[in-house]
Amino acid sequence: MDAEYTGRVVSRKTLLKVAILVAPIPVLLQRSPALAQDMAPTPYCESPAERTPSSPEGPEYRPASPLRPTARY
């Protein structure tokens, strides 16, 4: 019985491409819980009295850049 080889030959270039694509996956899986926690939705406030200091209104608000004036209408 003489079996004929029918498998594919994988080039080094293809192996390198696969290694580049697969290598970051464990790192991403390790960091995904931390990333998901950072991107958690913020609580929704219904009344103006419940606004947090991070809202763009109120005495705690300061523009990001002092050189760029904010428009007040």
- Say what the pTM is: 0.29
Of 30, 51, 33, the C-alpha closest to 42 is 51
Q: What is the mean predicted confidence (pLDDT) over 2-26?
A: 80
DSSP assignment, residue 44? P
Domain that holds residue 25: 8-34
The answer to whether position 52 is within a domain reads: no
What is the token pair recorded at 47? 């009344």
pLDDT value for 66? 59
The answer to whether position 69 is within a domain reads: no
pLDDT value for 25? 76
Number of domains into which the chain is organized: 1
Q: What is the pLDDT of residues 29-66, one digit of tens each?
A: 766 565 555 555 555 555 556 555 555 555 555 555 55
